[in-house]
Structure 1
Amino acid sequence: MTMTTALRLAACQSNAGGDWVANLERVRADARAAAEGGARVAVFPEASMACFGSDLRALCQPLDGPFATGVRDVAAETGLLIVAGMFTPSGDGRVHNTLLVTGAGVETRYDKIHLFDAFGSRESDTVAPGDSLVTFSAFGTTFGLATCFDLRFSGQFTELGRRGAEIVLVPASWGEGPGKAEQWDLLVRARAMDAQAWLLACDQAWTAPSGTDPLGIGRSACIDPLGGVRARLAAGEGILLADVEPTLVADVRARVPVLRRP
């Protein structure tokens, strides 16, 4: 399915702390601002419910818990489709790093597949990996989902493109470090080209590093299917509004048919 008109997306680049109630109120405020700016889709960072470095096992909640219920209420109030990062019980004593997708007639989840066991960090000690790619339809457009470290795995994005994703939404909590900003900028562009889709990456705003916990560098961006940067934020908190044209995807895939299986 393909839209014939532009769709306005919002990347709500903010800092999450360890208090899910305060974080939910920030989601509410930013969602209202995004809706006032004409957005139909609002994407919040990975770990919007509680930042890395918090006691994730103690803070995790099921998808019928108060944080997710609060996000659904915000989506209903604003009319937005909202994507927000949270932590849900995994059943093995760890948690899942979950994207909640809710609003505009959509209700689904994505559990992060590729865990951040890199640069001295061990996400898998507390987080269990997901095992399924997720696409969904809204506003006549097919969306795909990925989270942060997934950006280093090109095959995930190629497969999302093959499954019809025209827009890929990527919440993140991309840790600071030598070369990390340059890697982020490169990877969001490359993965849009791998999927031959629009890509909206929403990172936590820059946060002072704390050990090996991935927190945020900002630089949320909207990338077109040919890897062009259409909009980007700086390091601080803010809302990126970007108009995307899903019909461009079919044109790019016809001219550069790299998604065809051999």
Structure 2
Amino acid sequence: MSHTTLRLALVQAASGLDPTENREALDRLAPGGHDLVVFPEAFARDFGEAGSDVSPYAEPLDGPFATELAGVAQARATTVVAGMFEQSTDPERPFNTLVVRGAAQASYRKVHLYDSFGYRESDRLMAGPIAPVVVEVGGWQVGLMTCYDLRFPEFTRRLVDAGAEVIVVPAAWVAGPRKVHHWRTLLTARAIENTVYVAAVGQPAPRYTGHSMVVDPLGEVVAEAGPGDEGEPVVVTAEVDRATLDSARVTNPSLANRRL
């Protein structure tokens, strides 16, 4: 496998309230022919009404959802990322977890819970440990973060300091005034300030913002979806290229020039 490029597929699709249907959607929606396929946050089961209890839908990392994810990854000979609620030490507050299965295996428990814009995610979920999770996929170092983590630049920098060259951001970015502007601006800023690729996949409109996108290390948008809708999944594909990454870090050596 070539390490000079990494073929990405971002599956902008809505998860519903039936975990069985969401599991079945993995195989139906995951495309072949890519090195990394990424589904949104909370794909195993949507959050439901704001503030509702999601603990009955929490699963272990070897439960039905992660097992199906591994099967889909194996069938496609790829690596797949998707979000789920994972059982924690508190039966009423699971983790909001990204599961990675296939050629790479990992899990990342969301660190920054969405206590913002009128929401209080921490009432229903437990924050994960503050530790960067970076996995190797096709010779590339891929860092993981989830939705609200995007608003904390120091967290992305932690991932980059741990070697990340591509940042993957599954999300369920709630729709509302200025929210698409914030999403696009922050994704672009994280790419520029860290000279990394950023690949972000969100659940679609109307509840969420969609606009799944890949941004290159100089802030150019390589591919982007629109808001989408719940009934029509969209797959955004892009190829990240090491020559582009290396060139960006010569042009803009901000990581090397840091003084803090």
Common fold: TM-score over 0.5: yes
Decide which moves more: 245-254 or 129-138.
245-254
Q: Does 1:39 align with 2:34?
A: yes
Structure 1 length-normalised TM: 0.91
Q: Which amino acid is the alignment partner of residue 243 of structure 2?
A: T
Q: Which residue of 2 aligns with 1:137?
A: 136
Q: Which amino acid is the alignment partner of residue 223 of structure 1?
A: V
For residues 45-194 of structure 1, the aligned pairs below 5 Å read 45-53=40-48, 55-93=53-91, 94-104=93-103, 106-131=104-129, 132-194=131-193
Which of 217, 222, 234 is equivalent to 2:214? 222
**Cα drift, residue 163 of structure 1:** 1.9
Q: Which runs of 5+ in 2 are unaligned?
A: none
CA–CA distance in structure 1, aligned partners of residues 125 and 60 of structure 2: 14
CA–CA distance in structure 2, aligned partners of residues 244 and 101 of structure 1: 19
Aligned length: 248
For the 8 Å contact 2:36–2:137, the answer to whether it is kept is no
CA–CA distance in structure 1, aligned partners of residues 61 and 116 of structure 2: 28
For the 8 Å contact 1:196–1:249, the answer to whether it is kept is yes
Q: Which amino acid is the alignment partner of residue 89 of structure 2?
A: G
CA–CA distance in structure 1, aligned partners of residues 250 and 144 of structure 2: 23
**Cα drift, residue 76 of structure 1:** 0.7
**Cα drift, residue 116 of structure 1:** 0.3
Q: Which residue of 1 aligns with 2:255?
A: 259
Q: In the TM superposition, what whole-angstrom CA distance separates every residue of 1:133-168 from its partner, at most 9, and x where no partner exists? A: 100112111110110001100111122222221111
Runs of 4+ deviating beyond 4 Å: none
For residues 229-240 of structure 1, the aligned pairs below 5 Å read 229-236=221-228, 237-240=233-236
Q: Which amino acid is the alignment partner of residue 245 of structure 2?
A: V
Aligned-residue CA RMSD (Å): 1.4
Q: In the TM superposition, what whole-angstrom CA distance separates every residue of 1:229-258 from its partner, at most 9, and x where no partner exists? A: 111001112000111103322322233222
Structure 2 length-normalised TM: 0.91
Q: Which runs of 5+ in 1 are unaligned?
A: 209-215
Q: Which amino acid is the alignment partner of residue 126 of structure 1?
A: R
Q: Which residue of 1 aligns with 2:24?
A: 25
